[in-house]
Structure 1
Amino acid sequence: MDFRLTDDQRALQAGMRTLLAARYPRERLRAAVDAPHGRSEVLGTQEGAGAPGVHGAAEPAVDRRLWAALGETGFFALRLPEEDGGAGLGLPEAVLLFEEAGRALLPGPLAATQLAAGLVPGAADGTRIVTALDGPGVTAHLASADAVLLLTGDTARLLPVEGGTGPRALAAAPFRSVDPLTPLHRVRELPSPARTAALGPAADAARLRREAALLTAAQQLGSARATLALAVSHARHRTQFGRPVGSFQAVQHLCAQMLVRTDLARAGVYAASLTEAPAEIMGAKLLADSAAIRNARDCLQVHGGLGFTWEADIHLHLKRAWVRACQWQSTEESEEFLANELLMDAAGENAPGVWWDTLGEENVQA
């Protein structure tokens, strides 16, 4: 399998990096983080996007101008056929763009909105923000969303929540997020089918869940690469005892381990984008989650005391990585899925969706 990028893919990735450097530079990221909601201690009950919490802090809303700019460039419509206004590209190209989004810590329900392109009017051109739920639990950016993609059954359904009414429509309770730019709500019960709209047999919920997990893994990969670059740059330029700290063996080992994790995650994510196999996607998510979290921690160590300050960006990568690691497929769920795949292979079982229990006493249909 050839993982070398084509010239077109390199140009696509470079164009995304240039766009984000112009539209979402570090100054805008820090301005959003340093806004009142970024340092708030408690996020109270909210009626809509940007509503004040109990301490007067506002929930961070998705920047709709930036969202529209992404839509204009074809970010969300990337995988739609050309006759439907898209670029006709596939998951490998989408992974490259999401990798750049993760590197820049671009906030918002990016994966859900791209999945909704072609299914939800306005998602492809960035005029509507779409978040998603794959069951009762936690969802992000609910108060900013114009619609919620429900990926619970065999076929995806849609819950319109125009005007920032998502939390009220789902009776969702907000709670404090470790990431200052990823507001979270807990949904305890899904709406009845009568309140939702069917999206047709083409909206295969299982496939959409897998793609969301892979695109989230690509964002984790971008974050891992960003913290690796931060660590190497600091090691080269920070001096102690008259020489760069990168000349010390302990620092070199940390950077080398970060590089190995990043390259393993990149191989896993790129391979999964080509095969689209469920086991490959779960493995890629595991590798990318580990690389993003552990690289951010090691980057903190390379920076020493400077890395633990609010002004450094490292904690933002670590907090975002923690949140993403729980989205779509948690570490525990991925490990259980892969373990059961291995057990089925060892037992000679090839039927998809059948989990072989460890005692071999019975098969349980997943």
Structure 2
Amino acid sequence: MDFQLSDDQRALRAGMRELLAGRFDRDRMRAVLDGGGGVGGALWRELGAAGLFALRLPETAGGVGLGLPESVLVFDEVGRRLLPGPLIATQLAAGAVQGAAAGEAVVALAEAGRPVGHLAAADALLVLDGDSARVLSGGALRRLVGEAEPVRSLDPGTPLWRVPGLAGYEGEPLADGARLRREGALLAAAEQLGSAARSLEAAVQHAGAREQFGAPIGSFQAVKHLCAGMLVRAETARAAVYAAAVTADPAEIAGAKLLADEAAVGNARDCLQVHGGMGFTWEADVHLHLKRAWLRAGQWLTAAEAEEALAADLA
């Protein structure tokens, strides 16, 4: 079986990388963080116009008509750029929330017992509770927002709110909530994969430019080992994520999320080691990848949940 990307898939990936480089460069990313990390309406509409949210909707419904593997390639690029906002939830709910496919509506993710990101900017909530899913909007959403409390977020690009129990808020039920959770977990794994790859690139670049004792630090064996380990993590996760995108198998998705979380967090930590103390400063981008990776690891499918899913499959 040939698992190489097709020409169209390569073109999609290259096009998304070029789009994000032009629309969300480092200066714009920093401006978002300095402004509190909220979702920008202009950027959201630009992403909608580019087809990000309608990527998997059928062409008869005004979508692009592509599949899960193509979404994985796109969210890999999103993870590299630290793009803010609930992009995954908005894509998954694009067919159920008016305006979401075009980037005119923001759909945030609400999971039972967990803080909600970007609640203030949300036009709707994709509520996941076990294997059930529903969309919360209108008066019910306004009531929930009024009762929510902002909480400190470890990721400066993701404002968080603590919400009351979600059971008392009715919404439009969605079919196959278990599938939505699995697909969300896989797309989150793709974002983690992109972040892991970007951390590797940043470490290698810094190791080649930074000198100590008259030589680039990348010539030192300890730094070489760090970078080699980062490459192994990223490529192992890439194989798992791409395979799960093709099969959509629940156990393979759980394994892909587990490996991608480990790659994103581990690579960001090692990238910090390569950068030394400067990696923790606000001016550097290294710590931002670590903080976003920590946050993503607790969404859609946590490590404990993924391990349970894998154990159940083996049993």
Q: TM-score band (shorter)?
A: over 0.9
Q: CA deviation at 1:134?
A: 3.4
Which structure is larger by alpha-carbon Rg, 1 or 2? 1
Q: CA deviation at 1:334?
A: 1.1
Q: What is the CA–CA distance in structure 2 between the aligned matches of 1:166 and 1:267, rounded to whole Å? A: 43
Q: Which runs of 5+ in 2 are unaligned?
A: none
Q: Residues 120-269 of structure 1: matches in 2 within 5 Å? A: 120-152=97-129, 156-161=133-138, 165=142, 167-168=144-145, 171-192=147-168, 195-199=170-174, 203-269=175-241
Q: Which runs of 5+ in 1 are unaligned?
A: 38-59, 345-366
Q: CA deviation at 1:33?
A: 2.1
Q: What is the CA–CA distance in structure 2 between the aligned matches of 1:315 and 1:260, rounded to whole Å? A: 21
1:3 is matched with 3
Q: CA deviation at 1:173?
A: 2.3
**Letter matched to residue 21 of structure 1:** A
Q: Residues 299-310 of structure 1: matches in 2 within 5 Å? A: 299-310=271-282
Q: CA deviation at 1:95?
A: 0.4
**Letter matched to residue 238 of structure 1:** R
Distance verdict in 2 for CA 1:244–1:78, change over 3 Å: same
Give % identity: 62
Aligned residues: 315
2:41 is matched with 64
2:311 is matched with 339
Q: Please say if residues 149 and 161 of structure 2, whose CA atoms lie closer than 8 Å, have aligned partners that are also in contact.
A: yes
**Letter matched to residue 134 of structure 1:** E
Q: Please say if residues 147 and 162 of structure 1, whose CA atoms lie closer than 8 Å, have aligned partners that are also in contact.
A: no
1:311 is matched with 283
Using structure 1 for the length normalisation, give the TM-score. 0.82
Structure with the bigger RCO (C-alpha within 8 Å, sep 6+) is 2
Q: Which among 43, 49, 58 is matched to residue 81 of structure 1?
A: 58
1:116 is matched with 93
SS in structure 2 of the partner of residue 292 of structure 1: helix
SS in structure 2 of the partner of residue 76 of structure 1: coil
- In terms of fraction of residues, the more helix-rich structure is 2
- How large is the RMSD of aligned CA atoms in angstroms? 1.8
Q: What is the CA–CA distance in structure 2 between the aligned matches of 1:88 and 1:166, rounded to whole Å? A: 35
Distance verdict in 2 for CA 1:226–1:326, change over 3 Å: same
1:359 is matched with none
Distance verdict in 2 for CA 1:127–1:340, change over 3 Å: same
The Cα offsets for residues 230-264 of structure 1, whole Å up to 9 and x where unpaired, read as: 00111111111111111111110000000000000
Q: Please say if residues 144 and 164 of structure 1, whose CA atoms lie closer than 8 Å, have aligned partners that are also in contact.
A: no
Q: What is the CA–CA distance in structure 1 between the aligned matches of 2:196 and 2:93, rounded to whole Å? A: 27
The Cα offsets for residues 188-245 of structure 1, whole Å up to 9 and x where unpaired, read as: 311436x42234xxx3111001000000010000000000000011111111111111
Q: CA deviation at 1:281?
A: 0.5
Q: Please say if residues 3 and 267 of structure 1, whose CA atoms lie closer than 8 Å, have aligned partners that are also in contact.
A: no
Q: What is the CA–CA distance in structure 2 between the aligned matches of 1:148 and 1:164, rounded to whole Å? A: 7
Q: Please say if residues 142 and 166 of structure 1, whose CA atoms lie closer than 8 Å, have aligned partners that are also in contact.
A: no
**Letter matched to residue 172 of structure 1:** A
Q: What is the CA–CA distance in structure 2 between the aligned matches of 1:267 and 1:326, rounded to whole Å? A: 22
- Mapped pair 1:325 → 2:297: yes
Q: CA deviation at 1:150?
A: 1.9
